Each structure stands twice: as structure tokens, then as C-alpha cells.
A and B are shown apart, each in its own frame.
Chain A
Amino acid sequence: MQKIHKILIGIAFSPNLKPNLFEAIRLANMFDAELVGVHVGVKSDEKKIELKTLLSNADSLNKKMKTIWKEGKPVDVILQTCKEQQIDLLILGALQRENLLKYYVGSIARKITRKAPCSVLLLIKPSIVRVACKHIVVNGLQDEKTEETIKTAFFVSKHLCCNKITIVEEVSQGELHVKVNDDKTLRKANIAKERLRNRENQRVKHILEKIKNKKIQVKTQPIFGKRGYSIGHYAKVKRADLLVMNAPNKLGFFDRIFPHDIEYILSELPTDVLIVK
């Protein structure tokens, strides 16, 4: 991604609209991007007025906002608009509320993120007043997309004035090839872990060399655990403000039944999540 010209936000007239909208406007200004709003439903004067009053309370936009009114299935309309408008970033407000609602929002978010042609930002607690972003956690998986994702994380943190990035390398337990049984295997496992840790850090260091970075404090953290799940857990434990992840590879039938990687994060949303495409 690394450059954001157009940001899309879905407008649903819910109590949440105001924080969502304010958050989107702020982001658009920070990235100096154009904001596009799409409402799935019938265009009416009532809605128009409501939107207008909301906008008048918000910060003024650098670039004028474009509003699209369209009927159809929410998921389809949003995805279609992304394509038509050549959107770079799609913002979805996912509320952390009652279990059922969270699940429902989660399921729409899942559907969209699976198919979205652009990057997706999931906000779990959009707020009307700005909450500064202080710590970004980004995945450092061994994947071809990772380099791009890490670069994006740096790009985002520059614009959000965030000065701490942690790159989490998740290493699957299976890569150890040693099962801890007694003192001897424990020693072996720890040596193997140290080696893997160095390997991972080396790999990430390689990527970091290509990025010009002065102000941002960077830390690498290898974790042995389930992919996708541990990074979410880590972001939560560390109270990170944004989690930046690779977009999922094409998911097969079995991936949906046995959730993994991004699916874990989507089902639990530890913090705001940016999925980079």
C-alpha cells in the first residue's frame, strides 16, 4: 500500500456513525487523502440532513468528501464501490458490544476483508475525540507480503505520529522439532529456540535495512505459538493501539472451518486492526 489517496467509509445511520465518521475524517486529514462515504440504502432528505449536521460538527476536511448512495446488499455494494472508486483504504467500524452484535459485525468484517481489493482498517473503539496512537504491532511472518506490510506500518506510524513499532515474528511450535520431555530435551529445545529466534530477527533486520527510519523505536519479538492468535494476544497484552497484519492468502474451505491466522484476530479483535493488501 504505502500511499493512501482515497479512503472509503460505510455510512450506516446507527448510534455509532458519529465516532466512525469523526475517526475517518481525522485519518483522511492525516494521510491527506480524499474521503468517500457510501451508504447502502435509499437516499432521503432526512438522512442527508443528519449527515450534514454531523459533518458540520467535525474537523473540516482537507479535500471535499464524496458521498455515494446505493441500494443492494451491504457487502456487495461496499466491495463494488472499492473497485469503482479505486479505494486504497476501507474503514470498518466494528463495535465491541454485546456478544451477538460483535459476532455479527465480525462476520460482515470477515466477509469484506476476505474479498476486499484494498487494505482494510477495523476500528474497535472509534472515538469522537482523538486518542493518540502510541504503539503499533506488526506481523513479521515469513511471507512475501510481510515486507510490504512492515513498510506500510512505518508509513502509517509516520503519519499518525506514532513512535513505537514492535515486529512480532510468530514461529510455529512445530518448527522446533524438539518435544520437551525432560531436562535434556528442554536444553535442546531452548538451543533450537535461540537459533530460530536469531534466524527470525536476522530476517526482519534484513527488511528493516531497506526502510529509512530515524525517529521510530523498533523492537522485534519472536513468539512461539499459534500463528495469528499469538500476535493478537500479544497486542492485547501490550495494549497496542494498532495491529498491522498481512492480508490473508486465498482461503480454502477448510480454513473457514478450522480458523487460523487472520481469522482468529477477526473473531476476537484485540485492538484496531489494519489489514494490508
Chain B
Amino acid sequence: MKKNTFKTFLNDIPQNIFSGFVVSLIALPLGLGLALASGAPPISGVIAAIVGGIIVSLIGGSNITITGPGNGLVVVILTAITALGNGDMQQGFLYTLAAIVISGIIMIILGFLRMGSLGDFFPASAIQGMLAAIGIGIFAKQIHVMLGNLEAKGSIIELLIHVPKGILNLMTTDDSSMFYAGLVGIGSLLIMIFYSKIRNRYFQLIPAPMWIVVLCVVMYYYFDKFSVYDYPINQKLLINLPNNIISNFAFPDFSKVLDIKFINAVFAITLIASIESLLSIKAVDKLDPLKRRSNVNKDIRALGLATVISGFLGGLNVVTVIARSSVNVNNKGTNRSANFFHAIFLIAFLLLFATELRKIPLPALAAILVFTGYKLAAPENIKKVFSIGSEQLIIFLITLFTTILTSLITGIIIGILVTFIIHVIINKDILLFIKNILKPNVLMFKEDGKYYVSVKNFSSFLNYTKLKTKLDQIPENEEAIIDFSLCDFVDHSVMENMSNYSESFSRKGGHFEVIGLDDSKSGSDHPFALRKILPKQMVPIEGVLTKRQKSIQQISEEMHWKYNAFSTQEMKKLPTFGYFETRKIDKISNVLSNKDCTIFDVQFSEGELIAKQVIKATMLYIHTIKTVPNFTLDKEGIFEYILDFAGYTDIDFDTHPDFSKRFYLAGENEEKIRTFFTDELILFLESNKQYHIEASENGLLVIGKGRLKGVKEIKALAYFGMELQKKIQ
């Protein structure tokens, strides 16, 4: 067993090197940008990523997370540097490094005390509000930098008010350096916004931030080598890296350790670092294709140690970051080595391309952060919170505004208080909480092979850990029933977590059922009994068909297929396909089917939290009677050469050189695949449009371009499917 896992680990290394490479492409610009936004030297962000990648991959407890400098800390570190330095940013940074080192030590202690569950004490909506406030903070500051103005100062609100003035200023300025820098910034922002809309594989191979870096460097060389004009952007607006990167480390200054401001900074940094890491670890676990469970406390310890080392080397905090981890998963990273290699590639970049990196204009990096900030505070988030309940919106907004107007710590404390007060008001009973908060309110026992969990009194963020420790003891491939019928009150945070459990149980083949909420007592008396987020799919709105739907309906009549625009049926087979291992299916609609073929629109998401991308695509599912070997068939291209290099093997047929050249075929059982691909089938595939085809035990999934298909394309897909099915049987 042990040997085997080690062998798989070694076998997976090539693909993790590849994925680590892609992640490093995004980590480099983000590291520089986050450090700049924090008011720290740009190199400090990259140091954090390097130290984090190496340390956490060696001693951490998670599998596919990527570690480095985090978004959430930008605001905290900036505040710390300004407050501790009293105007002297350089000195402030040295004091802040000391605060970072100490916060790392605290995190190690928290890890040893198994306080990983600390993150559960924060109500979900309050955390949402805090994250949105951080997003607004980053956005407000960086949008000015993006427009080429480094001098903008003031509170978050002042900065926001000055945004229109900043844009006007850019258009009327006589400073050509600033003007061009602003143009680069706006261009970069456009790349960030439209990147996800372009579903081209070669384009998507390089992450958007790296495109920005590459284009900036290309632009510099154009001016340097070909153009008669000088590089229009002033040195002041370019990244400043130390001349000798390897020897010029900043060293923390511990002389302010007992200062109240210092203690405040340590507290804030630790709080945000642990919340951000915990949220990310939890979210990334949901994406793990191998469905492993992270050891949160071990990870926190590793992050703490990495932070200490990073601080001593002049780097920022090390936290688990969601966006980069999502990229890792999407590029088929499977184990910790990806994190390690991402660090190695970063070192290589710094050593090889330091000169090129110095040519990147600051506004380009600021654009990346403006986009991240926007994603954190996007209006959709507010809409989502509101849809859960108006009281959640109140909690969200109060936390948001207190955080913006005061500080993060005050914000989150107020958020917790408001949540509690709202719970008391809704129940009109404070005794319920006071009397029962310390009671062990969760009972779990195993009966007839099922786990039964009963929760008593009330269940909210205040005592959620008690429930969580019990639930974590259930293997996710078993059956669990959670009974809230003895509970007078269940809050939103708990309900959200229940829905997460339900998801991870169904991913791993188990069953997780929440009962006891539909009796009137906990149901209608308390709007908080949020049955809203439990159903897996959104309830489709029955209504007028769109033009596309009408056309599909017409096709269905022509071909004698069945059509259901608002299908609530779930495609049970879909998650068994490799394609959906890292992608979460939200909804299926426009189902067009005959006996064995089903064409449908599927809405799924890649990534989690701020890195989440929602994608809609039309696919074809063919139900096969005889068992099919697992394989993937795709167009051959550069992409596959890279994959080939990364350890995948393309199954080629000597008798069909043309097919072998055009198609990339891979799978576990080569022998079976070879017998499955008969001459007839190969000829058919050669002579038709090339689709991406995946096979699992009793079905084939045919995917076109990874977007919704037009009516004609659907028709083509349908005929392709019918023919393909005939060839297989």
C-alpha cells in the first residue's frame, strides 16, 4: 500500500511539474502585485511564494493547495506598514516583518493546539462582508495606481470618490509617461476581464496575469529594439527590484515588539492569515480530483513555519491561496510536488528574467489587483447573500461598512455581535443561547450501518464546532442522517456547511441527508432554517421559451427526439467522467434525448471562491450497452505534446497513421482501448468533425468547444452521436 502510493506519487511528478509551471506563471505577477499593493518591496511577495511553496509542500497537511502571499492580507499589511513606520515606509516594512514573524509563531502554536477549527466561529455572512471590504480596499487603492497615479492617498471612501477625477485626470494629463502607463493599466484590466470569455486552449494555457507580463515585456523590447521612440513610461512607474536579488534580504526589526500598534498588527495579520488559509483549504478540498481530506492543523503549522522563515528573509505572510490552487487543479496538479515546483520555477524566473521583470509597469500589476478586488466585492456576492435572507444582507453590510470605516478586527467583531443579536431577535429568546451554549448538544451513533446524528437546542456558528467534530468522524463514503428536529434554531452558517458536507459526501459516493427541518417549528417560525441552499439545483423558472429553445424544440420534432427545456432530472452519470472530476455541475437544462443519446446544456464551475468561473456548455451523452474502456480522445496539438512531455502517453495505431497524427488518445488500459477502436470506428472518427470524447464505464461524453452550441451544431452533434452509437454497438 505504502509503496504503491509512493509509486503513484513518482508517476504523477511530471504532470505536477507542468501544473507547477502554469501556477508559477500566475504566481509571479500576483506576488509582485500583492507586495506592491501592500506597500512592501515587490520582491517580498515572491519570497513568500517561494518559501511557502517549499516549506508547505514538504511538511504541510494538504495535497493540492498552493501557498504564497494572499489577497486578504494586502489591506492589513498596508495598514501595519503605514502605522508602524509613521510615514517612513521602508522602516515600517522592517517593523511589519517582525510582526509577520511573530504572527507565524502564533500560527504554529494555533496549529499545535488544534485550533484549526477557529475559523468556524465566524458567521458566514460576516466573513463574506469582511472579504468584500478587503476587496473594496484593494480596488480603491489600486485603481489609482492602474491609472498611473502613484500619489493618491486617503481613506478608502475618499479614494473611491476620487476615481472619476482620476480617469479625467488621465485623459487631460500632459505627463506622457503617466498617460501611457494608464493606457497599459486599462489594457491589462481588459485582458483580465475578457480572458475567461475566450475559450481557446492555447490562449488559456498561459494565465491572464502572465499574458499581461509577457505583453509588457514584448512592448518594452519593441521600443528598445525596433521603435525610434524611447520607452514612454518613466522609471518611477516601473517595478523596482534590488540589483542583487539573492543577497539583498531585508531583515525584520524587532524593536517595537511591545508597542500597542505592533501587537494590533500581529493580531490582525494572524487573524486574516488564518481565516484566509482555512477558507481556502476547505474550498480546495472540494476541488480535489482524488477526493482527499486535508489535515488542517498540520497545514496551519506548516504555514506558520513558512511565514516565520519568509519574514526573516524579508517576505510577506504565507497563506493558502484559492486562485492559484484552482489553477493548479485545472492544470491537473495532483499532489504537493506542484506547490514545490511552483516555488522552484519562481526562483528560476527571478534568476533568469530579473532584467525583463524590471520593465513591467506598475499600472499593469495594479490592473490584476483591481480585478481581484472587484471579484472579492462583486455585486453578485451581495445578490447571493440577499437571496439567502434579508437578515444576512444586514449582517453582510454592517460588517462591510464597519470594516471599511474602522479596521478589519473591529469589523469582524461587530459582524459576530450583529449576527448574534439578530439570532436573538429572531428567536425572541436569549436564554436559549445562554443556557445551551456550553452543552454538548450533538449525539452521534451508528445504527444498522448508518450514522445518525441528532442536534439539540440550537445550532449556529457559536457551537458549530461541536457538530463539526462529530461529522468529521464519518467517512464520506458512508450514509449519514443529520436530524435537527430537536433543534429550535439552525442558522445560516450551519446550513451552508451542511450543504457543503452533502456535496462532499455525494462526491465520494456516500449519502448525507438533513432531516427535521420541515416541521413548522424550525421551518416556518424561523426564516433562517434555510432550506434555500440545500437543494442542489436552482429551481428552474417555468416560462416562455427563448428563440434557441424553440428551435431546439423544432429539431426534436423533426428527429422524433424528446425535448425538455426545464428538466429537473440530474445526470447521475456525469460526475463519473474525468472531465467533471474538478468541475462542479450546477445545473442541467435543455435536455434533448432519444433512447440512448442525450444532448444537454450543462452549467458548471471551475475553481472556487474568487477564482470561480461559471461555464455553460452543450454536451452529448451516449449510453452504451457493452462496457467501454476508460479513455480520452482529443484533437492532437501543441497542448498534447506538452502533456506527452509531462508523462501522458498517446496511443498510436501503426495501421492508421493519419488518425494517430490527428488524434490524441489516452487511457489506462491500452490493450482494451486498442481492441475497442476498430477500423470502422477509426474511419468514422477520421471522416467526421473532431470532438473531445471521454469514456467511462457505461457511457461516452462528447464535448465540442466547451461552450453552448447553436441549433445547427446541436443537429450535427445529434447525428454524430447516433452514428457513433451505431458504430460502437
Contacts and interface: CB of A to CB of B under 8 A. Distances in A.
Interface centre among A99, A185, A189, A237 (most CB of B within 10 A): A237
Interface in A132-169: none
B443 A223 contact: yes
Contacts of B469: 180
B440 A186 contact: no
B482 to A, nearest CB: 12
Interface in B451-490: 452, 454, 456, 469, 472-473, 475, 483, 486
A2 interface: no
Interface in B464-520: 469, 472-473, 475, 483, 486
A237 B475 contact: no
A225 interface: yes
B440 A226 contact: yes
A182 B292 contact: yes
A92 B298 CA distance: 52
B473 A225 contact: no
A179 interface: yes
A181 B61 contact: yes
Interface centre among A187, A233, A234 (most CB of B within 10 A): A233
B440 A225 contact: yes
Contacts of A179: 114
Given A179-B114, A182-B61, A182-B294, A225 B439 contact: no
A264 B440 CA distance: 10
A198 B443 CA distance: 20
Contact of B443 (A181, A182, A237): A237
B643 interface: no
Interface in A169-190: 179-183, 185-187, 189-190
A229 B440 contact: yes
A231 B516 CA distance: 20
Nearest to B454: A237
Interface centre among B297, B431, B439, B473 (most CB of A within 10 A): B473
Contacts of A230: 440, 443
Interface residues of A, number: 25
A222 interface: yes
A97 B293 CA distance: 46
A99 B431 contact: yes
Interface in A222-262: 222-226, 229-230, 233-234, 236-237
Nearest to A237: B454
A225 B455 CA distance: 13
Interface string A181-208: 1110111011001000000000000000
B295 interface: yes
B445 A236 contact: no
A223 B295 contact: no
A233 B443 contact: yes
A221 B292 contact: no
A225 B292 contact: no
B428 to A, nearest CB: 14
Contacts of B442: 225
A230 B295 CA distance: 28
Given A233-B443, A237-B486, A186 B475 contact: yes
B447 A221 contact: yes
B296 interface: yes
B444 interface: yes
A26 B357 CA distance: 91
A221 B445 contact: yes
Nearest to A173: B469
Contacts of B292: 182-183
Contacts of A183: 292-293
Interface string B408-444: 0000000000000000000000010000000111111
A181 B298 contact: yes
B444 to A, nearest CB: 7
A154 to B, nearest CB: 22
A236 B472 contact: no
Contacts of B298: 181-182
Nearest to B457: A268
A206 B202 CA distance: 71
Contacts of A99: 431
A181 B295 contact: yes
Given A225-B440, A226-B440, A234 B293 contact: no
B477 to A, nearest CB: 11
Given A186-B475, A225-B443, A181 B296 contact: yes
A185 B116 CA distance: 16
Contact of A222 (B295, B445, B473, B486): B445
Contacts of B439: 229, 264
Given A189-B473, A221-B447, A236 B293 contact: no
A180 B117 CA distance: 12
Interface in B278-322: 292-298
Nearest to B485: A237
Contacts of B475: 186-187, 190
B454 A233 contact: yes
A175 to B, nearest CB: 14
Contact of B444 (A180, A189, A223, A229): A223
Contacts of B454: 233, 237
Nearest to B445: A223
Interface string A57-68: 000000000000
B670 to A, nearest CB: 30
Contacts of B486: 233, 236-237
21 contacts: A180-B469, A180-B472, A181-B296, A182-B61, A183-B292, A185-B295, A186-B472, A190-B473, A190-B475, A221-B447, A223-B443, A224-B444, A225-B444, A233-B441, A233-B443, A233-B454, A233-B456, A233-B486, A234-B445, A236-B456, A237-B486
Interface of A: 99, 179-183, 185-187, 189-190, 193, 221-226, 229-230, 233-234, 236-237, 264
Nearest 5 pairs between A and B by C-beta? Answer: A233-B443, A182-B295, A226-B440, A181-B295, A223-B445
